């Protein structure tokens, strides 16, 4: 229970606005007390602290909140509107199928309307609150079918949830730029409306020259307006795709070092080792981070190999119940759990990598500063139900407490009563 006033765990004059007591921390022995003031972590100590509000972690693990590196937030809960033909095409991973899936999936945009998109997206953001997701790279299709119907509700939700779930809204030309005349102006309009990030999907253009032109135009737009870039690159089973490289080169050229995200990049999983090492060197120079979603299909980025080369890789939920993925709860702990299997990362080192990829490393990829459980870090934390990280992933339950900007914004419990002879008791 979160307690306040005279019901404090520790007696005395409160010295912090919020205290999380009896916490287990990653990589540190013993029990810890976390003092929080003004949305910032003010103390991490083993001696008792007093707070105006106190949360008892009861020995469970406390970590940084979750970060969702990639999410199509305008399309959530649309699978039932269009059927699963696109899903079959996308998950096959082949070049032609991946393109075909985008065309099938665009059927949802025949009646794209902010009136039904807004409540769907709101539901997904509330799920983010429940599961302790603090930052989301949120894509909205901006093209001649979708117009601005997807991006407008996401910009409104960004303001409504600021400080609880921060949305970085991406103006995303899902159908290409040169393939979809008119899309570029709509992306510009979305930036004028306040979109945080300029999107792109160069690999679907018809020639390499047009793909390069696509990357150039979007990077130029981002640089001119002080925005970051986030593109879907090389998202098919064809090792000749090279748009990740184009994006990194353009970031270097346009002064966008450290301001870019490469999403999907599934073809990189098929690169020969020398090509992979060459790309790793280039993306590190450009400060280009990756986001992978290995739960969405068999072909994915070589996450562990890139991490070993020092490239920051985050994980993304990608989709919730849409034409590309039929499940999803906006639970990044669940995404990490699934990734641990898909990436063969079930040993201790692997579990650390996938958990970092939904917390601290993901924050780095998205350019979020201060996402660290340390004095001076942002007070964006989750209090779990178990002490060991392996158990936390295994159960991937909603956190017992979610703290955002220094205050408790959600709490969850789960319990089971066994109706068995001689065992009529509650177990959790
Ligand atoms: Zn995606």
**Alpha-carbon distance 358 to 314, whole Å?**
6
* Residue 7 pLDDT greater than 60, yes or no: no
When pLDDT is averaged across residues 70-99 and rounded to a whole number, the result is 81
Task: Please name the residues in contact with 51: beta carbons below 8 A apart, sequence gap of 6 or more.
Answer: 8, 14, 15, 16, 17, 18, 19, 35, 36
Cα 350 to ligand 1 centre (Å) = 23
Distance 127 CA to ligand 1 centre (A): 19
For residue 218, the CA-to-ligand 1 centroid distance in Å is: 18
Q: How far is the CA of 325 from the centre of ligand 1 (A)?
A: 10
Q: How far is the CA of 174 from the centre of ligand 1 (A)?
A: 10
Q: Exposed, middle or buried: residue 424 (CB in 10 Å: 0-12, 13-18, 19+)? A: exposed
User: pTM value?
Assistant: 0.94
Query: Are the C-beta atoms of 32 and 44 separated by less than 8 Å?
Result: yes
- The mean pLDDT value for 100-118 works out to 86
Gap from CA of 71 to ligand 1 centroid (Å): 6
Q: Quick one: average pLDDT of 375-379?
A: 98
Q: How far is the CA of 75 from the centre of ligand 1 (A)?
A: 11
What pLDDT shows up at residue 15? 92
Taking the mean position of all CA atoms in its chain, how far away is CA 270?
24
For residue 98, the model assigns a pLDDT of 76
CA 66/CA 165 separation, integer angstroms: 10
CB of 291 within 8 A of CB of 315? yes
72 alpha carbon to ligand 1 midpoint, in Å?
6
Residue 100 has pLDDT above 70, yes or no: yes
Could you tell me if 34 and 48 are in contact, meaning their C-beta atoms sit under 8 angstroms apart? no
pLDDT in tens, 225-262: 999 999 999 999 999 999 999 999 999 999 999 999 99
**How much distance in Å is there from the Cα of 76 to the middle of ligand 1?**
12
pLDDT at 5 over 50: no
Torsion of CA 146, 300, 292, 70, to 10 degrees: 10
CA 316 – ligand 1 centroid, Å? 8
pLDDT (0 to 100) of residue 85: 74
Q: What is the whole-number distance in angstroms between the Cα of residue 42 and the centre of ligand 1?
A: 37
Of 102, 238, 241, the closest CA to residue 176 belongs to: 102
What residues have CB less than 8 Å from 249, skipping those under 6 apart? 282, 286
Instruction: Please give the average per-residue pLDDT across 86-91, as a whole number.
Output: 74
Q: Return the structure tokens found at 208.
A: 């390499």
Check pLDDT > 80 for residue 10: no
Residue 265 tokens read as: 């990049």
Instruction: Give me ligand 1 centre to Cα 231, in Å.
Output: 9
Q: For 6, how many CA atoms within 13 A lie in the half-sphere containing its CB? A: 0
Task: Assign 189 to helix, strand or coil.
Answer: helix
How far does residue 87's CA lie from ligand 1's centre (Å)?
Answer: 13
SS3 at position 78 = coil
Cα 123 to averaged position of ligand 1 atoms, centre (Å): 19
Calculate what percentage of the chain has a pLDDT beyond 90. 86
Distance (angstroms) between ligand 1 centre and the Cα of 10 equals 47
**How much distance in Å is there from the Cα of 338 to the middle of ligand 1?**
17
The pLDDT tens digits for 25-42 are 999 999 999 999 999 999
Dihedral sign for Cα atoms in the order 366, 367, 368, 369 = positive
Pairing assessment for the beta strands 426-427 and 40-45 based on DSSP bridges? unpaired
Span from the CA of 274 to the centroid of ligand 1 (angstroms): 27
Judge whether residue 59 has pLDDT over 90.
Answer: yes
pLDDT at 355 over 90: yes
């Amino acid at each position: 229970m979160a307690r306040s006033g005279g019901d404090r765990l520790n007696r005395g004059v409160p010295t912090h606005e919020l205290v999380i007591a009896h916490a287990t921390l990653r990589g540190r022995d013993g029990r810890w007390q976390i003092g929080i003031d003004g949305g910032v972590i003010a103390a991490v100590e083993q001696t008792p602290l007093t707070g105006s509000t106190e949360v008892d972690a009861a020995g469970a693990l406390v970590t940084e909140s979750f970060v969702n590196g990639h999410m199509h937030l305008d399309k959530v809960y649309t699978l039932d509107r269009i059927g699963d033909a696109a899903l079959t095409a996308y998950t096959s991973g082949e070049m032609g199928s991946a393109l075909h899936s985008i065309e099938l999936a665009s059927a949802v945009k025949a009646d794209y309307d902010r009136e039904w998109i807004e409540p769907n997206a709101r539901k997904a953001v509330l799920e983010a609150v429940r599961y302790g997701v603090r930052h989301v790279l949120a894509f909205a299709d901006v093209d001649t079918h979708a117009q601005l119907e997807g991006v407008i509700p996401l910009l409104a939700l960004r303001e409504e949830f600021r400080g609880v779930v921060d949305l970085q809204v991406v103006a995303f030309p899902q159908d290409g730029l040169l393939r979809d005349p008119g899309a570029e102006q709509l992306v510009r309009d979305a930036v004028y409306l306040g979109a945080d990030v300029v999107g792109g999907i160069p690999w679907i253009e018809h020639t390499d020259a047009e793909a390069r032109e696509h990357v150039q135009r979007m990077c130029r737009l981002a640089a001119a307006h002080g925005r970051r870039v986030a593109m879907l690159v090389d998202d098919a089973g064809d090792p000749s795709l090279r748009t990740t490289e184009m994006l990194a080169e353009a970031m270097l050229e346009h002064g966008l070092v450290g301001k870019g995200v490469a999403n999907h990049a599934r073809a990189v999983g098929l690169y020969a080792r020398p090509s992979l090492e060459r790309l790793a060197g280039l993306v590190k120079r450009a400060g280009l981070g990756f986001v992978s979603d290995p739960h969405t299909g068999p072909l994915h980025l070589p996450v562990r190999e890139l991490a070993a080369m020092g490239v920051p890789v985050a994980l993304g939920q990608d989709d919730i119940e849409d034409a590309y993925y039929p499940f999803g709860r906006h639970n990044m702990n669940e995404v990490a759990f699934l990734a641990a299997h898909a990436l063969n990362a079930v040993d201790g080192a692997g579990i650390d990598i996938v958990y970092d990829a939904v917390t601290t490393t993901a924050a780095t990829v998205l350019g979020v500063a201060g996402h660290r459980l340390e004095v001076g870090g942002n007070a964006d934390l989750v209090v779990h139900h178990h002490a060991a990280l392996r158990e936390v992933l295994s159960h991937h339950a909603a956190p017992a407490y979610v703290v955002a900007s220094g205050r408790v914004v959600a709490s969850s419990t789960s319990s089971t009563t066994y109706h068995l002879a001689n065992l009529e008791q509650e177990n959790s």
